[in-house]
Amino acid sequence: MSQQEKRSPHLFVAIPIGVEVGMRLNAWAKSTFGESSFRRWTDPRDVHFTLKFLGSVEEERIAEINAALREALARETPFALELAGAAIFGLPEAPRVLFAEPASGSAGLSRLADATEEALAPLGFAREKRSFRAHLTLARQYAADAPVFEPAKLASAPALSVGIIDRAVLYRTHMNKSPMYEEVSSFPLFNTKDP
């Protein structure tokens, strides 16, 4: 790890989904489209829903980020999440990104993304201009020498239960490592509503 990475790690806030779900999605995507169809595959241990990318952040700011996220996310309610379906970003014949989508729970993920934005804006992290779209990146950069991508195969993505989403995580990126993401802090979601 470079001195720059130690002093200013690249950070993001996300919802982990677990290695087992990541492995099943990885196996489906590789068997459906071919292992050589995409240039970069997400390590199953790294599959997650990104809530907010923070970029390069000075190490000494992590404590204030943790405090803001802990307070904001403790007010959120755990929820069930299921996956069904896959989609792409980019051209249908040569996608930039292959991803899985939530069947249920996307409203909960949007709520967590909003809470994360609200918590970090006062610390100087600019709000995301694009609208939030919950997705799990499985692969990137369709290979130029691969057969023409067949969008119809996206419908064969498995329906999987992720279970109850009860925490968010602050991750640090380690480029050129596998897995690439290291958990820095975890933020439990507490149900503060009356039963």
Q: How many helices (H) and strands (E) does the chain have?
A: 4, 9
- Domain around 53: 3-188
Domain assignment of residue 46, yes or no? yes
CATH (domain of 173): 3.90.1140.10
- Exactly one of 76, 135, 165, 172 is catalytic; name it: 135
Do the beta carbons of residue 38 and residue 90 sit within 8 Å? Answer: no
Give the per-residue pLDDT at 104: 74
pLDDT in tens, 49-108: 999 999 999 999 999 999 999 999 999 999 999 998 999 999 998 899 999 999 876 899
Do the beta carbons of residue 177 and residue 21 sit within 8 Å? Answer: no
Residues linked to residue 188 through DSSP beta bridges, in sequence order: 167
pLDDT in tens, 158-179: 999 999 999 999 999 998 888 9
CA distance 122 to 117: 9
Task: State yes or no: is 174 an active-site residue.
Answer: no
Predicted confidence band at 156 (pLDDT cuts at 50, 70, 90)? very high
Say if residue 148 is exposed, middle or buried (CB neighbours under 10 Å; 0-12, 13-18, 19+): exposed
**Could you tell me the two tokens for 191?**
């149900």
Domain assignment of residue 193, yes or no? no
Domain assignment of residue 105, yes or no? yes
- Exactly one of 14, 48, 68, 108 is catalytic; name it: 48
HSE-CB for 70 with a 13 A CA cutoff: 9
Do the beta carbons of residue 159 and residue 40 sit within 8 Å? Answer: no
Domain assignment of residue 7, yes or no? yes
Domain assignment of residue 141, yes or no? yes
Give the per-residue pLDDT at 6: 59
Give the per-residue pLDDT at 191: 61
pTM: 0.90
pLDDT in tens, 113-125: 999 999 999 999 9
Domains contained in the chain, number? 1
Q: What is the mean pLDDT of the chain?
A: 92
